[in-house]
A and B are shown apart, each in its own frame.
Chain A
Amino acid sequence: MSASFYTKPANNGNAGVAMETSWDSNPGRQRTLQPITTGASVLAIKYNAGVIMVADTLGSYGSLAKFRSIPRVLRVNDATVAAASGDLADMQFLNTVVENHAIDEEIHEHGIAYSPASLHSWLTRVMYNRRSRINPLWNTYIVAGTEAGQPFLGYVNMLGVAFKEDCLATGFGSHLCLGLLREALDAAGGYAGLTEETATSALEACLRVLYYRDCRAYNQYQLANVPVAKPAQVSGPHFLQSDWSVAKLVKHYTE
């Protein structure tokens, strides 16, 4: 609109992700230096009829397990889910933008919705754009869903590095669990041979490993399942059973 005969009441507006003042004209504005409240690993694996993704519900404030019920899995639409690790404020900001886009698409009813591949592509552009201004969104995203009738799994990190794989993990998960997930896939001869039950139990086993070994992990988690033929479902919170009886073997451990 050229002239404003009508001005909306002052709102934040639909803040575009790339919208920010330049360093020179607004020197008080700072760049991202460190993540503050963080989410730990996200794990995901394809199976014969879809893809499953898990993320625990902990928001860590450094080493303090501060927020124990933060949902990190976003259902975008029937065919797409996404989850993030890293700075949770950045994650919540980006998720709001994604959700606004999703609503826009729903109400225009032209039958076009975010497919996981298009969301993955958009996220990559946004993350790389922010990285190139030395003001990143400090997250690693995993996008999962159904693309052209096939399971889809994609990764994007704060540098804009993006790739697609049959199994993915972020953070500590990529060190401790990716090997386990790859073994599960190899044992089944590829994701086409992996059943939903085997995939779920593999992910659960990985979450348990993380809870034992990653100081920032937690035993309460969300699970997203996107079957190829059915709508996406995000369930949770699920609780992880763990066995700490080995603690008694630790010298000076008292109950």
Chain B
Amino acid sequence: ARPHPTMSSIGTGYDLDVSEYSPEGKLFQVEYAHKAVESSGTAVGICCRDGVVLAVENIVTSKLYETNCNRRVFHIDRHIGMAASGLLPDARAVARHAREEAADYRQSHGEPMPLSELASRVSNLMHAYTMYSAVRPFGCGVLLAAFENGRPQLYGVEPSGVYYSYHGYAIGKAKQNARTEIEKLKLAELSAANGVKEAAKIIYSCHDEVKDKYFELDLSLTSAETAGRHVIVTGEQWTEASNYAKAALEEHDSDDDV
């Protein structure tokens, strides 16, 4: 392994292939893939009493873009939603695989794919790309959500392929702040309709006004009210959530003024 002149010294010499361990037993390419997620807009998933909410701080780099042209929340079949943080094209590739898996399962088993099964497949996929020098790991983390048999479910899969089931989770640049905010919520009592507003509020409060001026709020909901269908929140419900978040932000800001 050749020393890389311009890279910082963190992984020097052991970071050219994902198939190469460092002497400390790290896979630096996977760690760098995590960095791609950490430098991207925050994605948040919250299991509420009767549904699951996904929200993404979709940072938009130019005002020239049409709104909502590059959403970061995807449908995977009718009943599963996916939010992504990290490289968007990688997220789209993961979504494409997930959709194929879900469609195949539905075709063979005659019923919608359980989320636990899909999460396992997505994890296997992402992990497979961490084992060969010919490919690079996916530079994205994904949150998968569904409301199955009356139970809200949320899974998070990271670039290494590791995945867990969560009550609430956040990935991306402000993940620490967002996770702290999620922990403050009383999830067992929170309705999905209110969860949408709370998720919006968390995104707005974690958004860094200075570094990333302009962002779009991508919101989605899978709940008893949507009959288990994954629905992208738009129109009135989106405006209500967005206004609630902005108002909370102003209140917070005005609290700062002594």
Q: How large is the interface on B (under 10, 10 to 19, 20 to 34, 35 or more residues)?
A: 20 to 34
Residue A12, interface by CB 8 Å = yes
Chain B: CB-nearest residue to A7 = B128
**Interface pick from B1-9, B105-113, B149-157, B191-199:** B105-113
* Contact B121–A5 (Cβ < 8 Å): no
- Minimum CB–CB distance from B3 to chain A (whole Å) comes to 29
A interface residues, how many (CB within 8 angstroms): 18
Chain A neighbourhood of B76, CB < 8 A? 107
**Interface pick from A33-41, A98-106, A134-142, A229-237:** A98-106
Chain A: CB-nearest residue to B132 = A5
* Contact B129–A5 (Cβ < 8 Å): yes
- Minimum CB–CB distance from A110 to chain B (whole Å) comes to 11
Residue B210, interface by CB 8 Å = no
- Among B108, B124, B132, B135, residue most surrounded by chain A Cβ atoms (within 10 Å): B108
* Contact B128–A6 (Cβ < 8 Å): yes
Contact A103/B103 with A3-B134, A11-B108, A109-B232 known, Cβ cut-off 8 Å: yes
Chain A: CB-nearest residue to B75 = A107
* Contact B128–A11 (Cβ < 8 Å): no
Contact A5/B135 with A14-B104, A100-B103 known, Cβ cut-off 8 Å: yes
Contact A12/B104 with A103-B77, A109-B75 known, Cβ cut-off 8 Å: yes
* Contact B107–A5 (Cβ < 8 Å): no
Chain B neighbourhood of A5, CB < 8 A? 128-129, 131-132, 135
- Minimum CB–CB distance from A77 to chain B (whole Å) comes to 12
Residue A27, interface by CB 8 Å = no
* Contact A11–B107 (Cβ < 8 Å): yes
B interface SS class? helix
* Contact B107–A15 (Cβ < 8 Å): yes
Residue A13, interface by CB 8 Å = yes
Task: Give a binary string over A57-93; 1 marks a CB under 8 Å from any B CB, 0 the rest.
Answer: 0000000000000000000000000000000000000
* Contact A6–B125 (Cβ < 8 Å): yes
Residue B240, interface by CB 8 Å = no
* Contact A8–B101 (Cβ < 8 Å): yes
Chain A neighbourhood of B75, CB < 8 A? 106-109
- B residues 125-166 touching A (CB-CB < 8 Å): 125, 128-129, 131-132, 134-135
Contact A104/B104 with A3-B134, A6-B124, A109-B232 known, Cβ cut-off 8 Å: no
- Among A6, A15, A100, A108, residue most surrounded by chain B Cβ atoms (within 10 Å): A6
Chain B neighbourhood of A6, CB < 8 A? 97, 124-125, 128-129
A35 to B140, CA, bound (A): 51
* Contact B106–A100 (Cβ < 8 Å): yes
Task: Give a binary string over A1-36; 1 marks a CB under 8 Å from any B CB, 0 the rest.
Answer: 001011011011111000000000000000000000
Residue A96, interface by CB 8 Å = yes
* Contact A106–B78 (Cβ < 8 Å): yes
- Minimum CB–CB distance from B105 to chain A (whole Å) comes to 7
Residues of chain B having any CB pair with chain A under 8 Å: 74-78, 97, 99-101, 103-108, 121, 124-125, 128-129, 131-132, 134-135, 232
**Can you list 10 residue pairs at the A/B interface with Cβ under 8 Å?**
A5-B128, A5-B135, A9-B121, A12-B108, A103-B78, A106-B75, A106-B78, A107-B77, A107-B78, A109-B75
3 smallest CB-CB distances across A and B, nearest first, come from A107-B75, A6-B128, A11-B104
